[in-house]
Amino acid sequence: MKKIFFLLLLLLFVSCNSNRNFCGTYRSNFAQLGFFVTQIKFNTNSTVKFNKAGDLMNEELKGKFKISRNNIAYIEFDKLKYDYALDTLSMGELLEKPIDTNQFQNMHLYDLKFEDGIPYHLKFKIKYNKLLVYNIQTGKIVRRSKGSKNIAKFYLKKIAN
C-alpha cells in the first residue's frame, strides 16, 4: 500500500513540474514561404526571446511568458506595437529624409489581446516538445503552412534545453 501511495505521489509531483520541462529553445520545423525561420527561447525566469528571420528581415523581441492550465503559452513583448501614424510623410519628405533603421529595432506589428485575463501578443499550444502556432487573425491553430516546396505541417520543435 505504501508503494502505491509513493508512486501516486511521485506521479503527481512529476506532472506538476511540466513547466520546467517546457523551458528551452524552439525553432520552426521548416522555413515558411522558403525564407522565414522562427526561434523562441523560453527561460526558467518566465522571460522569452523571440527571433523571426529570413530574407532581409530580422525581428528580435524580448518579453515574458505565462503558461495556462490548458497548456497554452502566452507571450507578451516588452516593446510597444509599431505606430504607422508617426510615419505619415509626403513623398518629398521621404526623398529628402534618410531612413533611420534603428527606430524599427525591437518593435513589432502584433496586437495586444486578452484571453482569460492574460495579456498576450502571441500564443502557442504546448504539445509533446512542440509548439503549435495560433493564427493571429483567426485564433485557430495553424495545421498546415506553405513551405519551400509544398504545404506541410507547421510547428516549432524543441531543439535545446
Give the DSSP per-residue string, 61-102.
Answer: EEEEEEE-TTSEEEEEESSPBP-GGGG---HHHHHHSPP-GG
Cα 10 from Cα 137, distance rounded (Å): 41
Contact present, 99 and 79 (Cβ < 8 Å): no
pTM beyond cutoff 0.85: no
48 pLDDT above the threshold of 70: yes
CA proximity to 57, closest of 105, 17, 129, 91: 105
Q: Which of 12-16, 54-58, 76-80, 132-136 has the lowest mean pLDDT?
A: 12-16
Q: How confident is the model at residue 40 (pLDDT cuts 50, 70, 90)?
A: very high
Residue 22 has a pLDDT of 87
Q: Which of 13-27, 33-47, 72-86 has the lowest mean pLDDT?
A: 13-27
φ and ψ of 59, to 5 deg? -110, 110
φ and ψ of 66, to 5 deg? -140, 140
Contact present, 110 and 136 (Cβ < 8 Å): yes
Q: How confident is the model at residue 94 (pLDDT cuts 50, 70, 90)?
A: low
